[in-house]
Amino acid sequence: MVAELRSRGIKIGSTTGYLAEMMQINQADAKRQGYEPDATVCAGDVPAARPYPYMCLQNVISSASPRCRPA
């Protein structure tokens, strides 16, 4: 599924309630298994986590194409 999305130019983002330090371990393990999202946002990376939309918004900002980013 991920490969199909990437072949269509769709980027993959991840949100989690884990601390960034915990996610480093999880991300390393996921990468060994072939999964590496374009952006990962932890609850501590944004002003408020779930149920607020800030983590999803940060994923969009972090994975946006340079031509889509504001000057």
Judging by beta carbons within 10 Å of its beta carbon (0-12, 13-18, 19+), is residue 59 exposed, middle or buried? buried
> Can you tell me the mean pLDDT for 4-26?
93
Rg over CA atoms, the chain:
13
* Per-residue pLDDT, 59: 93
22-67 pLDDT, tens digit each: 999 999 999 999 999 999 999 999 999 999 999 999 999 998 866 6
Q: How confident is the model at residue 71 (pLDDT cuts 50, 70, 90)?
A: low
- Write the CA distances from 57 to 13, 32, 63, integer angstroms: 10, 27, 10
